[in-house]
């Protein structure tokens, strides 16, 4: 099991990436003074093209190039923006500081008013990290691997708007589990348990748990319920339906069209993402706020 937090170390940051939510023009008023503050501390900043455009600067880097230049990335946006960045840093020991510019996020938990005090702590080495697992997802067609994606939250296999119920065979470590006849299936990390899986009736799983969650979407058989399994297994999902519109979607952002007998293979990655924690709230406080527990 991964530890939820690990102690921070004395910082010697010299290069920091800034990536903001695309098209959110008001973020220019946050990015400009933030970049100046970091440069005043002797830290070189690296902005992707969209973020640079928000403050009227000349384009510098592609977003995908940022991780190769920096030691930390500050993400200004919501959980969706952070998910897109998290996939880019797979395999690199680059912590992410997620700054939420709207409501409190499950991943972007640092509020704007906490940004500079949080950065002071990071520069002093006084911070903690959440280590979150990633999934490696491979799609096989006729025995050949045709694509692969890293995943932070979930892999969703579901039918199109006009498709009928689909059939999905599920195997875990090559042992047949069941055939789901449903609108689809969600395979989620603990981090993603509070996303689509939760809306489909899946359990909330603490991010420190060594588990994966399989949640059927509107199953035809009511005894098909969500399953929680160890995160060291190999999950294989085989599309059994012919001539239907079915897609695999990764973190809700990247989609891939599936064909009859395609195999979606899902394993825990050897890599993790590292999120810098806010010292001002814990996981349960975020749950209460996001899910509005105790409100009447």
Q: Which long-range contacts link 142-148 to residues 24+ away (Cβ below 8 Å)?
A: 142/261, 147/256
79 included as an active-site residue: yes
Q: What are phi and psi of 26, to 5 degrees?
A: -65, -15
State how far the Cα of 168 lies from the Cα of 157, in Å rounded to an integer.
Answer: 9
Q: Which of 98, 122, 108, 94 is nearest to 11 (CA)?
A: 122
Tell how strand 175-182 and strand 166-172 pair up: antiparallel
CB 240 within 8 A of CB 118: no
Helix axes 28-40, 115-123, angle to 10 degrees: 30
Selected catalytic residue, list 50, 65, 79, 262: 79
Instruction: Show which residues are catalytic.
Output: 79
């Amino acid at each position: 099991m991964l530890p939820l937090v690990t102690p921070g170390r004395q910082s010697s940051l010299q290069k920091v990436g800034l990536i903001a939510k695309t098209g959110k023009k008001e973020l220019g008023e946050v990015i400009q003074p933030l970049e100046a503050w970091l440069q005043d501390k002797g830290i070189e900043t690296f902005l992707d093209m969209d973020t640079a455009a928000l403050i009227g600067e000349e384009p510098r880097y592609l977003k995908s190039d940022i991780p190769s230049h920096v030691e930390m990335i500050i993400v200004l946006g919501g959980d969706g923006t952070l998910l897109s960045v998290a996939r880019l840093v797979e395999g690199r020991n680059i912590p992410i500081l997620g700054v939420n510019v709207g409501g409190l996020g499950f991943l972007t938990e640092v509020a704007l008013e906490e940004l500079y005090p949080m950065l002071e702590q990071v520069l002093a080495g006084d911070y903690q990290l959440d280590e979150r697992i990633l999934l490696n997802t491979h799609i096989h067609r006729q025995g050949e691997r045709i694509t692969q994606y890293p995943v932070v939250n979930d892999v969703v296999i579901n039918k199109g708007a006009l498709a009928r119920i689909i059939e999905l065979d599920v195997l875990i470590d090559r042992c047949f589990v069941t055939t789901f006849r449903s609108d689809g299936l969600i395979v989620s990390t603990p981090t993603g348990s509070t996303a689509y899986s939760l809306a489909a009736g899946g359990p909330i799983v603490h991010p420190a748990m060594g588990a994966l969650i399989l949640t059927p979407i509107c199953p035809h058989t009511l005894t098909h319920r969500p399953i929680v399994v160890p995160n060291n297994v190999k999950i294989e999902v085989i599309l059994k339906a012919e001539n239907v519109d079915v897609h695999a979607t990764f973190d809700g952002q990247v989609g891939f069209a599936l064909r009859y007998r395609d195999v979606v293979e899902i394993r825990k990655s050897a890599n993790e993402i590292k999120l810098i924690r806010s010292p001002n709230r814990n996981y349960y406080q975020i749950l209460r706020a996001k899910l509005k527990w105790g409100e009447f």
